[in-house]
Amino acid sequence: MTAQEVTEGLRGPAFAATPWTYHQGHVVAYDSVGFTVATQGLNYGTGVFEGIRAYWDPRAHSLHVVKLREHLERFAASARLLHLDLGATVAELSDASTELLVRNGYRGDTYLRPIAHTLQFLPGTAFGVRLRGISTATSIYALPMPAGIGIEGVRCLVSSWRRVPDESLPARAKITGSYANLALAVDEATSAGCDDAILLNTKGTVAEASTANVFLARDGQLITPHLGADILAGITRGCVIELAATEGDTVVEREVPRSELYSADEIFLTGTGCELVPVIAIDGRSVGDGSVGPVTRRYLQRYRDAVHGRDDSLAGWLTTVRLTD
Ligand code: PMP
């Protein structure tokens, strides 16, 4: 691949639709942001990020951003762990996100990616791995991301790679470097012909999928690994727990042994990117009868109605940004 092809790939068709980026306090042209090969976050994985969805509502000429404040608060919490100074408050990043959507003017489902990472040594700081004495870069970029992929169901492999334990690298923070752990698991799963990996934690119980939390439906209950199971406290996971309260369903957050995956009536994954995705097979065994079950279908419909602005009782999830001509 030539250097020009790499550069073209980074600009890509997705970015052509969303040419503006927030960077260090300003909305600037996406192509104008450049980093050197010595960028600290690139060398050591010392960065944090978020993934936020905005759904296009053609009737309202608006984008509905889902749980914007919650995502940015998690971003700020992740940044605190790595001593990254975001240079902006959650409220300012929230305004920046909406300004970015307006400037891009893209009328379609959009993904927002806030990212902050160590940038370069401040004067007097020696070369090497560290968290202090280094400047931070804070950016938010956007790309088109149509919703509803994988709804027909995915096949998962329980990975031989374990989710990094909280004592080593906290999964509760979205740290760029920790995604190498998840990438190894995805690679193992896709090499085996599956769509995604489910990782166990070092205690051997279920943690999460590569970029999604796991829910089991069994005997009329929803079961999901508790927050001490080395998982990200997923915001979509929280949405499902909220929905369950309105549906009158019980959610049990506890340790989930691997073997329980094989006896669940239904399993689904939750995440901003994937939304709610049914798991139809695990380790070559079908989940339930191998088709999308009624509980998954019901929650998927409720979630979709909420994020597309069709459920007034859940309007509080959304920050609505109107695009004018
Ligand atoms: N776990 C991991 C490791 C993730 O990267 C994600 C995606 N952010 C999730 C779970 C789901 O979290 P959320 O619902 O907040 O997108």
Q: How far is CA 291 from the centre of its chain?
A: 25
User: Which pLDDT tens digit goes with each residue over 189-234?
Assistant: 999 999 999 999 999 999 999 999 999 999 989 999 999 999 999 9
* Residue 296, ligand 1, Cβ within 6 A: no
175-196 mean pLDDT: 98
Q: Is the pLDDT of residue 1 over 70?
A: no
CA of 211 to the centre of ligand 1 (A): 5
Task: Quote the pLDDT of residue 152.
Answer: 86
> How many Å is the maximal CA-CA distance in the chain?
63
Residue 251: pLDDT band with limits 50, 70, 90: very high
* Residue 272, ligand 1, Cβ within 6 A: yes
Task: Quote the pLDDT of residue 6.
Answer: 66
* Residue 288, ligand 1, Cβ within 6 A: no
Interacting residues of 205 by C-beta distance below 8 A, sequence separation 6+: 225, 229, 255, 256, 257, 258
Return the closest-CA partner of residue 129 out of 45, 51, 218: 45
241 CB-side CA count, 13 A: 15
Distance, in Å, from the CA atom of 21 to the CA atom of 28, rounded to the nearest integer, reads 5
112 CB-side CA count, 13 A: 31
User: Which pLDDT tens digit goes with each residue over 230-247?
Assistant: 999 999 999 999 999 999
* Residue 98, ligand 1, Cβ within 6 A: no
Percentage above 70 pLDDT, the chain: 97
User: Which pLDDT tens digit goes with each residue over 103-119?
Assistant: 999 999 999 999 999 99
Ligand 1 atom 5: the closest Cα is on which residue? Answer: 211
CA of 158 to the centre of ligand 1 (A): 17
Atom of ligand 1 nearest to the CA of 174: 5
Task: Quote the pLDDT of residue 15.
Answer: 87
Distance, in Å, from the CA atom of 43 to the CA atom of 118, rounded to the nearest integer, reads 9
Task: Quote the pLDDT of residue 84.
Answer: 98
By most ligand atoms within 8 Å of CB, the mutation choice from 67, 232, 268, 307 for ligand 1 is 232
Residue 107's alpha-carbon distances to 34, 140, 280, in angstroms, are 27, 18, 33
Atom of ligand 1 nearest to the CA of 213: 10
Return the structure tokens found at 100: 């970015």
Interacting residues of 93 by C-beta distance below 8 A, sequence separation 6+: 22, 72, 75, 86, 114, 138, 140
Atom of ligand 1 nearest to the CA of 71: 15
* Residue 307, ligand 1, Cβ within 6 A: no
* Residue 278, ligand 1, Cβ within 6 A: no
* Residue 51, ligand 1, Cβ within 6 A: yes
Per-position DSSP letters for 214-274, written without gaps between them: EEEEETTEEEEE-TTTT----HHHHHHHHHHHHHT-EEEEE--BHHHHTT-SEEEEEETTT
- The residue ranking higher by pLDDT, 280 or 151, is 280
Beta bridge pairs of residue 271: 275
CA of 231 to the centre of ligand 1 (A): 9
User: Which pLDDT tens digit goes with each residue over 264-276?
Assistant: 999 999 999 999 9
Task: Quote the pLDDT of residue 220.
Answer: 87
Atom of ligand 1 nearest to the CA of 273: 16
